[in-house]
């Protein structure tokens, strides 16, 4: 659990917090319904379902010095499993952000994000204990050329390393950047043209696919897109982006891709207490800890929220995603898989439904209840699963 974010209007402030969360997961390793955990999972005497407890301590704060704002978030989690005790782990994260402003026209951000946590079994096919370290260094700048025109850009450097030897093939370095120009047609409306680039590099070098082809997983992405923000009223905002992306491999045409992608999001403040966010998309995706294994994601989501009172907030989530993996890209992870999947292009359909209840009985206390359900079907049985996830947590803020 996390406390509400600190905003610039809060001025100089800090807070410490303690939380405890109990989670039940009916299919911890995201296995097919007819597949037992024993003999498949790289953990002795595994249990397919499990309870685990997360005890957390954290702190966040904000320092305002003139036009400069510094934000710091620190968090540590101790995770203990009732049955799969070899998965017990100590996770931690840190986020330092500098919101800088050099003048009324020139501003930006600079920051670093670090995270150390257990890899999600729905993201990786290595079914054992794998602690992932991720470090992201990023910076951005924006210059207001005139009343309506602005130019901006950002750069980012991401490093991912896995503790499990069998997952070392997925260690990678991801460098990306964006440059754009924006024209404001109104106070809340704008249109922008952006160019994105990204380079993915893998220390492991060449890999062998399941059909015997040897290739380098290093890749290069280029994306040009139009970004539109349009407020149809003071209660309804529409944002969208449409572009053309191309992924290439420097040493081979193996697994390359090019095509259109885009996303449209509608934010509707129906009443003072109710809000609906709806989104549809078609994008090139990859799970954070397995970037080499990528797919075309086509789907949509609905997220209604209701602030029943000043202390009670309810949110729901309905989502559907069709995952069409790029030919042969799913072969990259085969060395880390207990069972090598059959040949053929992998496709999957992911359905998600869930709800969360946030209750603030007192200013310093937050209670959260959540229930989520996932169902993934696939043309390859190894990738099918369904899962029920329920959590209850309590957070106490110390000012």
pTM (predicted TM-score): 0.87
Beta carbons of 30 and 350 less than 8 angstroms apart: no
Residue 211 in this model has a pLDDT that exceeds 80: no
- d(CA 377, CA 165) in angstroms, rounded, equals 29
Residue 330 in this model has a pLDDT that exceeds 50: no
The Cβ of residue 229 has, within 10 Å, a number of other Cβ atoms equal to: 18
pLDDT in tens, 10-41: 678 889 999 999 999 999 999 998 888 888 88
- Any bridge partners for residue 282, and if so which? 262, 298
What's the pLDDT band for 172 if we cut at 50, 70, 90? confident
User: Which residues 6+ apart lie within 8 Å of 24 measured at CB?
Assistant: 49, 50, 51, 388, 389, 390, 391
pLDDT in tens, 244-276: 999 888 766 666 788 999 999 999 999 999 999
Q: Where are the domains of the chain?
A: 8-398
Fold of 8-398: Porin (2.40.160)
Beta carbons of 168 and 139 less than 8 angstroms apart: no
String of b and e for 263-288 (b: at least 16 CB within 10 Å)? beebbbeeeeeebbbebebebbebee
Structure tokens at 61: 């704060």
Residue 329 in this model has a pLDDT that exceeds 50: no
Give the number of C-alpha atoms closer than 13 A to the C-alpha of residue 22, restricted to the C-beta side.
Answer: 3
User: Which residues 6+ apart lie within 8 Å of 378 measured at CB?
Assistant: 346, 347, 348, 349, 384
In this predicted structure, what is the pLDDT of residue 10?
Answer: 65
In this predicted structure, what is the pLDDT of residue 342?
Answer: 43
Distance of CA 116 to the CA centre of its chain: 15
pLDDT in tens, 38-91: 888 888 889 999 999 999 999 999 999 888 999 999 999 999 999 999 999 999
Structure tokens at 228: 């539109």
- d(CA 317, CA 277) in angstroms, rounded, equals 10
- d(CA 9, CA 15) in angstroms, rounded, equals 15
């Amino acid at each position: 659990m996390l406390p509400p974010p600190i905003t610039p209007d809060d001025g100089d402030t800090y807070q410490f917090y303690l939380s405890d969360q109990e989670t039940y997961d009916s299919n911890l390793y995201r296995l097919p319904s007819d597949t037992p955990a024993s003999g498949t999972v790289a953990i002795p005497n595994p249990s397919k379902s499990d309870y685990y407890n997360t005890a957390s301590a954290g702190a966040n704060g904000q320092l305002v010095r003139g036009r400069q704002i510094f934000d710091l978030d620190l968090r540590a989690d101790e995770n203990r499993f009732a049955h799969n005790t070899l998965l017990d782990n100590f996770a931690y994260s840190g986020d330092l952000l500098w919101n800088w402003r050099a003048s009324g026209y020139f501003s930006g951000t600079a920051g670093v994000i670090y995270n150390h946590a257990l890899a999600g079994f729905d993201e990786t096919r290595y079914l054992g204990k794998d602690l992932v370290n991720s470090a992201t260094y990023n910076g951005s700048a924006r210059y207001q050329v005139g009343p309506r025109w602005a130019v901006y850009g950002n750069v980012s450097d991401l490093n991912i390393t896995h503790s499990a030897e069998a997952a070392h093939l997925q260690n990678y370095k991801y460098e990306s950047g964006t440059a754009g120009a924006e024209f404001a047609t109104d106070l809340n409306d704008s249109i922008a043209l952006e160019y994105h680039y990204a380079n993915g590099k893998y220390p492991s070098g060449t890999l062998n696919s399941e059909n015997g082809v040897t290739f380098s997983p290093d890749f290069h992405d280029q994306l040009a897109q139009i970004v539109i923000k349009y407020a149809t009223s003071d209660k309804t905002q529409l944002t969208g982006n449409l572009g053309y992306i191309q992924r290439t491999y420097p040493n081979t045409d193996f697994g390359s891709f090019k095509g259109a992608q885009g996303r449209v999001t509608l934010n509707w403040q129906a009443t003072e207490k109710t809000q609906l966010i709806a989104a549809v998309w078609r994008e090139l995706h990859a799970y954070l800890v397995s970037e080499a294994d990528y797919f075309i994601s086509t789907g949509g989501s609905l997220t209604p929220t209701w602030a029943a009172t000043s202390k009670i907030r309810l949110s729901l989530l309905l989502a559907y995603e069709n995952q069409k993996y790029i030919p042969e890209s799913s072969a990259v992870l085969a060395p880390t898989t207990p069972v090598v999947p059959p040949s053929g292009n992998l496709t999957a359909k992911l359905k998600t439904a869930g709800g969360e209840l946030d209750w603030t009985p007192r200013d310093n206390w937050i209670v959260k209840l959540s229930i989520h359900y996932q169902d993934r079907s696939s043309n390859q049985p190894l990738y099918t699963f369904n899962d029920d996830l329920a959590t209850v947590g309590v957070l106490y803020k110390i000012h």
